[in-house]
């Protein structure tokens, strides 16, 4: 079984954007680490698992979770499986304050 380790990085806007799409039989998400690089303002992050059409929300991984100024937040306590074609979307309450790093394995 082939395994491909991937990373995806993004600066979050105040709109919902696709972080990545599963292109294998299943994708195992190892980490979703969000960092607030602003020294004075908190910001909220919402992370959702969506169907392949990109609009149907299957569930929320995190919903309006507050990331304090100059802090980071790990959105996953355990591994998370994303079936083929499904997508992970992220959104910030304030544009340009949050960065997210995703680490995942495609099997």
Closest CA to 6 of 96, 77, 88: 88
**Overall pTM surpassing 0.85 (yes/no):** yes
C-alpha pair distances (Å), 44 with each of 34, 51, 63, 71: 10, 23, 8, 12
Q: What is the 8-class DSSP label of residue 1?
A: -
Give the model's pLDDT for residue 2. Answer: 57
Residues 32-74: tens digit of each pLDDT: 999 999 989 999 999 999 999 999 999 999 999 999 999 999 9
79 has pLDDT over 70: yes
pLDDT at residue 85 in the model? 95
Residue 106 near residue 23 (C-beta atoms within 8 A): yes
User: What is the pLDDT, as a whole number, of residue 82?
Assistant: 96
Exposure letters 20-55 (e unless 16+ CB within 10 A, then b): bbbebeebbbbebebebebeeeebbbbbbbbeeeee
What six digits make up the tokens of 62? 């995190």
DSSP tag of 13? -
């Amino acid at each position: 079984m082939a395994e491909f380790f991937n990373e995806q990085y993004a600066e979050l806007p105040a709109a919902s954007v696709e972080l990545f799409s599963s292109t294998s039989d299943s994708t195992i998400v190892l980490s979703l680490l969000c960092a607030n690089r602003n020294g004075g303002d908190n910001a909220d992050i919402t992370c959702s698992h969506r169907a392949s059409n990109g609009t149907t929300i299957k569930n929320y991984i995190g919903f309006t979770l507050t990331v304090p100024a100059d802090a980071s937040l790990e959105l996953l306590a355990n591994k998370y499986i994303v079936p083929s074609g499904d997508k992970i979307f992220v959104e910030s309450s304030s544009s340009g304050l949050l960065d997210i790093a995703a680490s995942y394995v495609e099997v």
